[in-house]
Amino acid sequence: MVSSLTRDEATTRAEQIRVVDYRVTVDLSGAEDPQCATFGSEVTVRFTADEGAESFIDFVHESVSSVELNGELLDVDDVVEGSRIRLPGLGEANELRVVGRALYSRSGEGLHRYVDPQDGSVYIYTQYEPADCRRVFAVFEQPDLKAEFHFTVLTPQGWLAASNGEHLGAQPSDDGDVPGALSHEFAPTQRISSYITTILAGPYARVTDEWTGTDPQGETVSIPLALYCRRALAEAMDAEEIFALTKQGLDFFPKLFAFAYPFGKYEQAFVPEYNLGAMENPGMVTFTEDYLFPSGATRAQRAGRANTLMHEMSHMWFGDLVTMRWWDDLWLKESFAEFMGAYACVHATGYTDAWVTFALARKEWAYRQDQLRTTHPIVADIVDLEAARQNFDGITYAKGASVLKQLVAFVGEESFMDACRAYFRRFAFRNTDLSDFLDVLDEACDHDVRAWAQLWLHTTGVPVLSLDTPGSSADDAAAPAGASLTQAASPLRP
């Protein structure tokens, strides 16, 4: 049974503990065996807690063989309860080690294993949002328990591996399911949320480049770049254009936000059978391989890819550097990234008609969803993780971005960007909610942003506009003497 973490449980756990770091080993050495349905998972996590508190860690597993807390082996049958592992009698400083096996995925959740029908090669990647990191290793699975992550990945010989951190090297190891596997070590991450950690492994084609520029302080900076895809699609990976867009984004966003790109390298992987368009894992962004075009592409297709690339890059600040405290404020990253994708295309790339495309496609999506019975406020009431999973929709993305575009016009573009810059400085590597962003916006402008937020972020539905021309009729060819535009909505919005 997979438990759905509630908002109240997450609040209690965040009050009890603070996570220092994770050391994770994932054993994929047997991944090429089609009969092997599981992989080895071992994690050591250090965290502080209230003395004597009891909490739990999340792990969706096939089996758990060992749970060791502060040097004491706990009874697995006693503490493992479905997808949770109970942690009794915590101290002020704690070290937990969990060893078990997890299941390969064929549904795009957790650790997905794909067998290429063209050459039989196996490709692996992870997808976690909102809470599927727990399908790979034991983790405190909520966005406000950030930590450093140290990854070791065991793979078959000849495979590449990548993660959020820099690849430090690989050497043969006999510790895995298959003797003589490669053990890949990665540099620790910054303090990030668990749902944006990632692992990529397989015989991927890889192309490298480098961006060189200046940070907001004028210092010269170099950022390693890489692209990955299946070998069968290597010729379709138009690296020159993708790298050019990536460099344009890295020229643009650090200057716009007055905050240097914070995650070292910038790699991008195009992966098969992907459930989403893309995912903003810092240091290793994943995209659907539908963004590669073996048969050629229209300008509209390339523009769509450029928009998604800029959307994901803006997440390095909105979502990765500063992360929502809980999924109620998913809009604090997705609405912002949706807006910034089009904004960056207009200001930094050759796709200067991005707002036209947004109005014709994305905003139309928002209008349609906002008229359904299933609509919800942009700032939603997310009681648990299952509710969060349903919230990745046209309201959170497209309506949120449309309303943000209106907000920029309302407070002024420079005031809005000043608020963004203050937001990143104040909350870097931390978690926020709506009130935190409204605080910095209130400081940057002289408009009543809280009243605006109440009317546009906490309500639903499309205002209906009517044009009234008194005294005229359909048969009257003369121009009306006057006209009035009226709005029907509850509540009325400016």
Q: Distance between CA 340 and CA 301 in Å, rounded? A: 19
Q: Which of 32, 312, 334, 338 is catalytic?
A: 312
Measured CA to CA in angstroms, residue 269 lies from 10, 272, 290 at distances of 32, 10, 12
Give the residue from 127, 122, 131, 126 showing the smallest Cα distance to 4: 131
Determine the Cα angle at 432 with ends 199 and 321, to 5°. 40
SS3 330: coil
The residue with tokens 């138009």 is: 238
Residue type for position 394: G
**N- to C-terminal Cα separation, the chain:** 48
| Residues 6+ positions from 437 with CB-CB distance below 8 Å | 332, 419, 423
| Residues 6+ positions from 409 with CB-CB distance below 8 Å | none
SS3 405: helix
Cis peptide before 88 (omega within 30 of 0): no
Strands 148-155 and 181-186: antiparallel
DSSP state of 204: -
129 is catalytic: no
Q: Distance between CA 140 and CA 133 in Å, rounded? A: 9
CB 318 within 8 A of CB 332: yes
CB 458 within 8 A of CB 376: no
Backbone angles phi, psi at 473, to 5 degrees: -140, 170
Q: Which two tokens stand for residue 278?
A: 């893309």
CB 110 within 8 A of CB 60: yes
Residues, the chain: 494
Residues labelled catalytic? 312
